[in-house]
Structure 1
Amino acid sequence: MNISRFWETGKKIVAVGRNYAQHAKELGNEVPSEPFFFLKPTSSYLLQGTGAIEIPNENSDIHHEVELGVVISKKGRDIDINSAMDYVGGYTLALDMTSRDQQAIAKSKGLPWSIAKGYDTFCPISGFIPKDKIKNIDDLELWLSIDGQIKQKGNTNQMIFNVPHLIQYISTIMTLEEGDLILTGTPSGVGPVKPGQKVKCGITDVAGMEFDVIQRKRN
């Protein structure tokens, strides 16, 4: 398997929610005492340079969430926290796009978030970042701007649960496999994006990406 093209070979995207305390609070959620996650389909991948972020319909309230993504290098189950980083093959800069209106409906009815998180183009990525390019995953600055205005800025040292903890916890529930992606959560400052805007984001001194935002055209 070519792990550097994980978006073509990986089987799942495991997205961790509410992993930054200020983000949990800005949406009126409690800060979790253990990791909370959901799944996004691999069909939601959007590699930088291959297209635009699509807004599903005119009434959609779509929010940006910039995140560090962790690419799994080998199969593991019940992974020990002390060896968790041995299962990391590399990283990616990612956006967990969210239909906030669909999420609100799901929350009110106690339903899953699959619609809110699963539209095509709802997981934009920068491509593969080799593991050795990031020296300290516990001190990375993430930022996002819309039309040149900074909206999100945070550091991975603000995570409630760090990467080894997430790998250990997730692997007690589902086997992690080569090419799988873990989205590690977003800092505060999430907000809407609209057709015609340009979203830029980055991991300082490591990676950056930008996407146009368009209205989805139906076939």
Structure 2
Amino acid sequence: MDMLFPARPQPALSVSDEIALYPVARIFCIGRNYAAHAAEMGNEVDRARPFFFTKSCHHLAQTGAILPYPQGTADYHHEVELVAAIGAELRDTDPEAAMAGVFGYAVGLDMTRRDLQARAKEKRHPWDAAKDVEGSAAIGPLTRAEAFGAPGPQEIVLDVNGETRQRGRLDDMVWSVGECVAFLSTLYTLMPGDLVMTGTPAGVGAVVAGDVLTGSVEGLASVQLTLSEA
């Protein structure tokens, strides 16, 4: 098929100890999934159902990327998250079946133009300009689910220039991975290639050009992002 211009490359993630790549299709992001983070943002946790937004797969950044500080903001924030990669078709499923459909896990950074988000909240507008930003989904290599095990007491940490900014445990989540994935499966038919970023612990904050961000979860490969001058 002839194209008017070259198609964008297929975004993909590496898988630890494997040659084949995991092609990325959609990125779903669960919000307010750690009570302490919800509180620091002035929000209450809605236990009735998860809250989510999306990012373009073309805004995926590989670990080790050096990216410019984004335009249109003076308050760019870090949010470290566990990422679940879907490996099976899931539709209207339950948490147990949802967990069985997870291919693997990675550490991710949900980067956010916080000033734009605050402005959108005030006007009850969508968060797209705050969240769906080029390079705003920095994600490390995937580890297969069977090699990582069940998310639970593992620590999740974010360092900026070697100084710890965020620290929590995966079992601090309000909604478990299985519950998040099962909920999304009631709204979408999840497919291999879909990613679910599962929320961030407390301690989010601003970064500036020159900062080096490192996110880690016990048992997973870390993710690193460096911000350069625009």
TM-score (norm 1): 0.91
Residue number among 25, 35, 43 corresponding to 1:29 in the alignment: 43
Aligned residue in 1 for 2:229? 215
The answer for the alignment partner of 1:95 in structure 2 is: 109
**Out of 94, 110, 119, which is 1:105 matched to?**
119
Q: For 2:70 and 2:225, locate their aligned partners in 1 and report how far apart those are by CA, in whole Å.
A: 16
Paired letter, 2:88? K
* Conservation of the 8 A alpha-carbon contact between 1:139 and 1:156: yes
2:74 counterpart SS class: coil
**RMSD, matched Cα:** 1.6
Change (3 A) 1:52 1:76: same
Gaps (5+ residues) in structure 1? none
Give me the whole-angstrom Cα distance separating, in 1, the residues matched to 2:102 and 2:156: 19
Partner Cα distance (1:212, 1:137) in 2? 27
Alpha-carbon distance in structure 2 between the residues aligned to 1:116 and 1:69: 20
- Are the equivalent residues in 1 in contact too, given 2:105–2:220 (CA < 8 A)? no
| Structure 2: gaps of 5 or more residues | 1-11, 16-20
Q: Is the 8 A contact 2:28 2:54 kept in 1?
A: yes
Report whether the alignment pairs 1:202 with 2:211: no
2:161 to 127, 136, 147: 147
- Tell me how far apart the structure 1 counterparts of residues 85 and 73 of structure 2 sit (CA, whole Å): 34
Question: Which segments of structure 1 move beyond 6 Å, counting only runs of 4 or more?
Answer: none
Written as runs of structure 1 = structure 2, the 5 A alignment for 1:180-199 is 180-199=194-213
The within-5 A match list for 1:45-84 is 45-49=60-64, 51-57=65-71, 59-84=73-98
Question: Which residue identity lines up with residue 189 of structure 1 in the other structure?
Answer: G
Higher helix share: 1
Alpha-carbon distance in 1 for matches of 2:149, 2:141: 18
Distance across 2 between alignment mates of 1:174 and 1:215: 38
**What's the CA shift for 1:117?**
0.7
What residue in structure 2 maps to residue 115 of structure 1? 129
Q: Matched residues, percent identical?
A: 36
